[in-house]
């Protein structure tokens, strides 16, 4: 019986041909495209330094989880091992759980939860159970991750319905466009591989790695904006772009116009 660490022991294989560019790296471009996770992590820390003066923990946690996801995803695509697949999926699950625990708005807490400490304990319990289940039924993981992603999208639309700021709507629209492009790349690589092979372009999964990071940057900016808006409205958060709004590669961030002390 092959070990869970042995090459190509994973249940999935992506469209890119295996060992085409290196005898040690199964999927070359799917592996190196994970560099986008290592670029995004310091970028999020740097762009959100005004927010980190108030709440440093969530952004630092997010950056650390980004690095973990990048490492495990690179290891998975390099080896296509079962252990790599599990580590990749579980790091995404724990990353999402951490964002829930830190940022889930208190007004959406279910009735039986009284405060954030209780909420964090429930999230921890559910994440531990999902982690254990993924060893029993690995296929379940992808469904859990998708459910969480759609729940986040639902919450975003709820928030946007109450928000009149056109800058917020624009940022959310751009985020959804990137998200759709990312998911499209992931699905096409998985289900339309023979077409991709005919077109001689089997690298859509590596584009998914890049585009989902762009989506994450927009998503984190939106979450941070709402966090400041609800927790400290007098701080006057404002959505900005670096280096400028009109530049080709404009990166979104939240500026704090009137910094206040948070309780
Ligand atoms: Zn991947």
- If you measure from the C-alpha of residue 77 to the centroid of ligand 1, how many angstroms do you get, rounded to a whole number? 7
- If you measure from the C-alpha of residue 30 to the centroid of ligand 1, how many angstroms do you get, rounded to a whole number? 6
**Cβ atoms of residues 91 and 84 within 8 Å:** no
pLDDT tens-digit map of 111-151: 888 899 999 999 999 999 988 888 887 777 777 777 887 88
pLDDT tens-digit map of 168-224: 999 999 999 999 999 999 999 999 999 999 999 999 999 999 999 999 999 999 999
- If you measure from the C-alpha of residue 234 to the centroid of ligand 1, how many angstroms do you get, rounded to a whole number? 41
- If you measure from the C-alpha of residue 110 to the centroid of ligand 1, how many angstroms do you get, rounded to a whole number? 34
d(CA 252, CA 263): 26
The torsion defined by the Cα of 176, 122, 88 and 99, in degrees rounded to 10, comes to 40
- If you measure from the C-alpha of residue 73 to the centroid of ligand 1, how many angstroms do you get, rounded to a whole number? 6
Helix, strand or coil for residue 253? strand
Supply the mean pLDDT for the chain. Answer: 89
What is the percent of the chain where pLDDT is above 90?
55
- If you measure from the C-alpha of residue 204 to the centroid of ligand 1, how many angstroms do you get, rounded to a whole number? 10
Protein fold of 28-256 = Rhopdopsin 7-helix transmembrane proteins (1.20.1070)
- If you measure from the C-alpha of residue 12 to the centroid of ligand 1, how many angstroms do you get, rounded to a whole number? 11
pLDDT at residue number 140: 74
pLDDT surpasses 70 at 1:
no
Average pLDDT over residues 18-42: 94
- If you measure from the C-alpha of residue 222 to the centroid of ligand 1, how many angstroms do you get, rounded to a whole number? 24
Residue that has been written with the tokens 């948070």 in this structure: 262
For the chain, give the longest Cα–Cα distance: 62
Q: CA angle 55-61-63, nearest 5°?
A: 110
27 is in an annotated binding site: yes
- If you measure from the C-alpha of residue 74 to the centroid of ligand 1, how many angstroms do you get, rounded to a whole number? 8
pLDDT at residue number 230: 87
Token pair listed for 242: 């670096």
- If you measure from the C-alpha of residue 43 to the centroid of ligand 1, how many angstroms do you get, rounded to a whole number? 21
**At 153, is the pLDDT very low, low, confident or very high (cuts 50, 70, 90)?**
confident
209 is in an annotated binding site: yes
Any long-range contacts for 151-159 (C-beta under 8 Å, 24+ apart)? 152/96, 152/219, 153/179, 155/105, 155/108, 156/222, 159/226
Give the phi and the psi of residue 34 in degrees, each rounded to 5. Answer: -70, -5
- If you measure from the C-alpha of residue 21 to the centroid of ligand 1, how many angstroms do you get, rounded to a whole number? 18
- If you measure from the C-alpha of residue 84 to the centroid of ligand 1, how many angstroms do you get, rounded to a whole number? 10
pLDDT surpasses 60 at 263:
no
pLDDT surpasses 70 at 262:
no
- If you measure from the C-alpha of residue 120 to the centroid of ligand 1, how many angstroms do you get, rounded to a whole number? 28
**Cβ atoms of residues 189 and 205 within 8 Å:** yes
pLDDT tens-digit map of 79-108: 999 999 989 888 988 998 898 899 888 888
Average pLDDT over residues 240-247: 89
d(CA 38, CA 70): 7
- If you measure from the C-alpha of residue 245 to the centroid of ligand 1, how many angstroms do you get, rounded to a whole number? 31
**At 245, is the pLDDT very low, low, confident or very high (cuts 50, 70, 90)?**
confident
151 is in an annotated binding site: no
Token pair listed for 177: 């466009």
């Amino acid at each position: 019986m092959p070990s869970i660490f042995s090459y190509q022991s994973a249940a999935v294989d992506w469209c890119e041909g295996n060992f085409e560019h290196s005898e040690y790296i199964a999927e070359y471009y799917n592996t190196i495209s994970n560099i986008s996770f290592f670029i995004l992590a310091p970028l999020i820390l740097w762009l959100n330094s005004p927010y980190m003066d108030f709440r440093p923990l969530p952004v630092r946690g997010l950056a650390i989880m980004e690095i973990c996801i990048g490492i495990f995803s690179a290891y998975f695509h390099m080896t296509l091992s079962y252990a790599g697949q599990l580590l990749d999926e579980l790091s995404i699950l724990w990353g999402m759980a951490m964002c829930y625990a830190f940022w889930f708005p208190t007004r959406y807490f279910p009735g039986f939860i009284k405060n954030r400490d209780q909420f964090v304990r429930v999230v921890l319990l559910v994440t531990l159970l999902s982690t254990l289940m993924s060893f029993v039924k690995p296929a379940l993981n992808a469904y859990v991750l998708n459910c969480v992603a759609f729940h986040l999208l639902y919450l975003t639309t709820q928030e946007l319905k109450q928000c009149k700021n056109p800058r917020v709507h624009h940022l959310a629209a751009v985020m959804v466009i990137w998200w759709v492009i990312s998911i499209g790349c992931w699905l096409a690589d998985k289900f339309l591989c023979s077409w991709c092979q005919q077109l001689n372009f089997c690298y859509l999964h590596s584009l998914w790695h890049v585009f989902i990071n762009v989506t994450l940057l927009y998503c984190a900016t939106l979450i941070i904006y709402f966090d400041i808006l609800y927790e400290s409205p007098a701080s006057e958060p404002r959505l900005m772009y670096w280096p400028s709004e009109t530049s080709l590669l404009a990166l979104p961030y939240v500026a704090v116009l009137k910094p206040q002390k948070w309780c």
